[in-house]
Amino acid sequence: MSHAKSRMKATMVALILALALSNIGQAQVGRSEGLVNPDLANEKELLSLPHMNATLVKDIMERRPFLKMSDLNSFLAPSLRKEQLAELYGKMFVQINLNTATQEEILLIPGVGKRMLHEFEEYRPYKTLAQFRKEIGKYVDQKELARLEQYVFVPIHLNTASDEDILSIPGMGKRMLREFKEYRPYKNIEQFRKEIGKYVDKKEVARLERYVTLN
């Protein structure tokens, strides 16, 4: 094989590898390392969590979805002490929007203090979850980064999101992926509510809407 052909082959291999790597880790919702989603968990899963009892579990299931972590915290705070809440939030949490979460919501993430709060806010607006990994990875190791990632998401764009992006939404399956894509391009969020509302109730539409944007 000539030198020119060898160089061309090496270039093609490098290009293919680069394209493959570019598609890794593009999902916009943090990967769970066992963190329970209170909007999707069943009764048994909720009862197994620290400081949960039958009454709290029943009320959570009746009130959900919790569209903000602050809503869940406001509900639980009268029943649990601060240290109990911190332990519980190490196991269960409503993921926060990296670009719109309040300081109070960010500080509800166990182990996040004023310094890390500053780092979370410094890099707004986040365009991708990969950006979060890159920037926050400057301050913590990979294990801690994976733990923090569970608690956050960057909204996906309804008209351009990849299948991987859409399937990263908690509770999303192949059927709903198909419905999300069927009505593209969405002109406004009201259209999303109308079309997806054909398949799920208003509460589930509201839960799904948390994870999407048209901006």
Please state the separation of Cα 109 from the chain's center in Å.
14
Q: Which tens digits make up the pLDDT trace of 117-169?
A: 999 999 999 999 999 999 999 999 999 999 999 999 999 999 999 999 999 99
Are β-strands 152-153 and 96-97 bridged in parallel, bridged antiparallel, or unpaired? parallel
Instruction: Average the pLDDT over 158-187 and give the result.
Output: 96
Least confident of 5-14, 36-45, 74-83, 191-200: 5-14
Q: Which tens digits make up the pLDDT trace of 68-115?
A: 999 999 999 999 999 999 999 999 999 999 999 999 999 999 999 999
Using CA atoms, how far apart are residues 142 and 81, in angstroms rounded to an integer?
A: 31
- The pLDDT-based confidence of 25 (bands split at 50, 70, 90) is very low
Domain definitions of the chain by residue range: 43-153, 157-213
Q: Which tens digits make up the pLDDT trace of 77-87?
A: 999 999 999 99
Give me 57's structure tokens: 């579990």
Q: With H, G, I as helix, E, B as strand and everything else as coil, classify residue 47.
A: helix
DSSP letters spanning 162-211: -HHHHHTSTT--HHHHHHHHHTPSPSSHHHHHHHHTTTS-HHHHHHHHTT
Nearest to 95 by CA among 170, 181, 21: 170
Q: Per-residue pLDDT for 11 more than 50?
A: no
pLDDT of residue 27: 74
Average pLDDT, the chain: 90
Using CA atoms, how far apart are residues 126 and 123, in angstroms rounded to an integer?
A: 7
Helices and strands: H and E segment counts in the chain: 13, 4
